[in-house]
Structure 1
Amino acid sequence: MKKTHAATRRKTDGKLTLHFALAEFVASGTALKEGIDNTPPKRIVKSLSRTAAGLEEVRAHLGGKPITITSGYRCPELNSHPMIGGRRRSGHTLGECADFLCPAFGSPTEIARAIAESDIPFDKLIDERRWVHIRFHQERARGLRFTALFNEKGQVIDYQEGLG
């Protein structure tokens, strides 16, 4: 049985870190519209806490400017929804990824470059052109860097190694 967004919101109040609340990581217009309960299990909340801690490092590196999370945790049902089109093994379903913006700092490309030049231990960083995707894996920090490639319709068709 699907729960309402209000039920999800009650379960996801609370801070993970100084600047990031669990509610920011689970908010989803698609989940709200489709009645999908995007409440993470406890083991995922632990991963989200690590991701939030990583984003605190990013925020500090970007001059303490506010970060807006555009996509965080996605339960498997939400991740596989046609409006989302997430990969089956997406780190978003594990609580290890966040898509975000920091408009007060600069464009997604400028943000990705600043993070890449830092000593922040991330696993994967992608300049998606409209946002930045970052993954903080619990066991590895490979420092992988990619740039999204688009077709003429503006759809991602591939990822190129390195930042463009």
Structure 2
Amino acid sequence: MKHFTMGELCASTTADTHGIKNTPPLQEAGNLKALADNVLDPLREWYGNPIHVNSGYRCPPLNRLVGGAPTSQHTKGEAADITAGSKEENRRLFEHIRRNLPFDQLIDEKDFAWVHVSFRRDGNNRGQVLKL
């Protein structure tokens, strides 16, 4: 983890507001590290500018509170919603990931309002590209 910290991959104003401790267990922390090492850090090095994590790890109570799917990869520490600050820049991030980096799911969320990317450290990455 070169450009991202565990703290920013777990940060949540919603968790803070509701007094939820959003600390990942060991397995999930390892998954977050793998996501950063294999996708987020290489993306940041290519991009050359900050990338903000809107949502990374979500403990089950936080995930329920924000309306996340019960099977969300966020609860496993395998996913992050990221933004570079604009739809145009988010599209650039999306396309670079799609063409150059390993991923399980890559989702254009709300016409590039943000990008959801996930990575499975067990190697079973589907390379699934979606638009929501």
TM-score by length of 2: 0.89
Letter in 1 for 2:120: H
| Contact preservation (8 Å) 2:43, 2:93 | no
Instruction: Determine the C-alpha separation between the residues in 2 that align with 1:111 and 1:29.
Output: 24
Equivalent residue, structure 2, for 1:88 = 70
Provide the aligned C-alpha RMSD in A. 1.7
Higher relative contact order (CA 8 A, sep 6+): 2
The CA deviation at 1:109 is 2.4
| Contact preservation (8 Å) 2:94, 2:106 | yes
| Contact preservation (8 Å) 1:65, 1:105 | no
Equivalent residue, structure 2, for 1:115 = 97
Residue 77 (structure 1) aligned to one of 44, 50, 61: 61
| Contact preservation (8 Å) 1:97, 1:136 | yes
- Structure label with greater radius of gyration: 1
Query: How many matched pairs?
Result: 128
Q: Identity across aligned pairs (percent)?
A: 40
The CA deviation at 1:104 is 8.3
Instruction: Determine the C-alpha separation between the residues in 2 that align with 1:41 and 1:105.
Output: 33
Listed one character per residue, the Cα deviations across residues 12-54 of structure 1 (whole Å, up to 9, x for unaligned) are xxxxx11111110111111011101101111111111001112
2:35 counterpart SS class: helix
Instruction: Determine the C-alpha separation between the residues in 2 that align with 1:114 and 1:51.
Output: 16
Unaligned runs of 5+ residues in structure 1 are 1-16, 149-164
User: Which structure shows the higher helix fraction?
Assistant: 2
Instruction: Determine the C-alpha separation between the residues in 1 that align with 2:92 and 2:42.
Output: 16
Displacement over 6 Å in runs of 4+: none
Equivalent residue, structure 2, for 1:157 = none
Query: Does structure 1 residue 55 correspond to structure 2 residue 36?
Result: no
Equivalent residue, structure 1, for 2:50 = 66
Equivalent residue, structure 2, for 1:125 = 106
Unaligned runs of 5+ residues in structure 2 are none
Equivalent residue, structure 2, for 1:12 = none
Instruction: Determine the C-alpha separation between the residues in 2 that align with 1:43 and 1:116.
Output: 26
